[in-house]
């Protein structure tokens, strides 16, 4: 497809593991299956969680697997000026506001409202500072979720065919969006997430803002990433609309689960994939391909990748064959 731009956007919290290789391979295959470009974006905006040198290690692992980006990687740590411009634009248009609440303040407000703190999930911000800081110093900046959300096409903002708002109901508007693997999705962002953070109290840019600004600036047409990020998508679509940038198509890949049944991560023992020898790199790729439902291939890796591009096209993009 002419104009296709895809990307793989690893956080530099460590080298690639079996789970992150699935997202890398899927995004590469989708770009190749569309005759498009494939970019790598180094998501090193959360400095305290970043491991020095992980960006180089990830790029070396990708190269050993035959996954080579079509342009030099972009580093989010270099992009503060653009994120600031985006936040200023959102503030000027009334889509963002400063918040003076600590975590404790939010917990207290939620308890008062009879909404006990959900275990193990983010707090839904009760909107305390929506109307102003009431003398408190600003700590963080939040996105103001629209009270009622116009249909994207009617508002003349979104270029997406898929992301439209359904009609309002008693609990506020739901955002409907489409995933190329999971099908129709919907989320009531106001109720399930609340006004979310764009610039954190520790001065770090939030993932939601960085990812939307970067996808737009890089002209990304297709986001292919792990299913753990699917429920972030409605927040990103709201930000795209507020910033008046296009909404890409989305495809969220199956997750690789760790021994505890949770998404594989460094915290639950994910080991770096072994790519030192060609056979090891091929084995890692073959495991990732199996997670994506692609047939086994004995190699060599270049031949396997070519076969998987065809298999991918048949699975996820049958009309373009």
Tell me which residues touch ligand GLU (CB under 6 A): 9-11, 43, 211, 225, 229
Buried b (16+ CB within 10 A) or exposed e, 274-288: ebeeeeebbebbbeb
Closer residue to ligand GLU (CB): 24 or 101: 24
Which of 251, 246, 250, 235 is closest to 149 using CA atoms?
235
Closer residue to ligand GLU (CB): 122 or 147: 122
Q: What tokens were used for 261?
A: 């049944």
- The Cβ of residue 191 has, within 10 Å, a number of other Cβ atoms equal to 13
Least distance CB 155 / ligand GLU (angstroms): 24
Least distance CB 151 / ligand GLU (angstroms): 25
Closer residue to ligand GLU (CB): 50 or 304: 50
Closer residue to ligand GLU (CB): 96 or 229: 229
Closer residue to ligand GLU (CB): 128 or 236: 236
Least distance CB 178 / ligand GLU (angstroms): 17
Per the CB < 8 A criterion, the answer to whether 226 and 265 are in contact is no
Least distance CB 269 / ligand GLU (angstroms): 17
Least distance CB 248 / ligand GLU (angstroms): 10
Q: What tokens were used for 31?
A: 């770009």
Least distance CB 285 / ligand GLU (angstroms): 19
Closer residue to ligand GLU (CB): 252 or 282: 252
Least distance CB 209 / ligand GLU (angstroms): 12
Closer residue to ligand GLU (CB): 225 or 249: 225
């Amino acid at each position: 497809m002419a104009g296709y731009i895809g990307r793989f956007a690893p956080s530099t919290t460590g080298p690639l593991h079996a789970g992150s290789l699935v997202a890398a391979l899927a995004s590469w295959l989708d770009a190749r299956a569309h005759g498009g470009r494939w970019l790598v974006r180094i998501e090193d905006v959360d400095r305290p969680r970043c491991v020095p040198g992980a960006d180089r290690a990830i790029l070396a692992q990708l190269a050993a697997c035959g996954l080579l980006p079509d342009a030099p990687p972009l580093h989010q740590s270099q992009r503060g000026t653009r994120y600031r411009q985006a936040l200023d634009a959102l503030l000027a248009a009334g889509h963002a506001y400063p918040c003076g609440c600590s975590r404790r303040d939010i917990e207290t407000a939620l308890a008062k409202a009879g909404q006990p703190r959900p275990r193990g999930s983010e707090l839904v911000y009760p909107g305390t500072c929506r109307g102003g800081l009431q003398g408190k110093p600003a700590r963080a900046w939040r996105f103001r979720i629209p009270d009622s959300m116009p249909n994207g096409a009617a508002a003349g903002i979104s270029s997406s065919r898929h992301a439209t708002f359904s009609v309002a109901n008693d609990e506020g508007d739901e955002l409907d969006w489409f995933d190329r693997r999971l099908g129709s999705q919907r989320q009531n962002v106001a109720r399930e997430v609340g006004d979310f953070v764009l610039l954190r109290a520790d001065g770090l840019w939030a993932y939601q803002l960085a990812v939307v600004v970067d996808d737009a600036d890089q002209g990304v047409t297709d986001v292919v990433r792990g299913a753990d990020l699917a429920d972030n998508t409605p927040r990103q679509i709201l930000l795209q609309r507020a910033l008046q940038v296009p909404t890409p198509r989305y495809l969220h890949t199956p997750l690789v689960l760790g021994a505890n049944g949770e998404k594989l991560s460094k915290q639950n023992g994910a080991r770096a994939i072994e790519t030192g020898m060609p056979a090891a790199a091929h084995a890692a790729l073959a495991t990732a391909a199996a997670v994506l439902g692609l047939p086994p291939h004995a190699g060599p890796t270049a031949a396997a990748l070519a076969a998987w591009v065809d298999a991918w096209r048949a699975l996820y993009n049958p009309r373009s064959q």
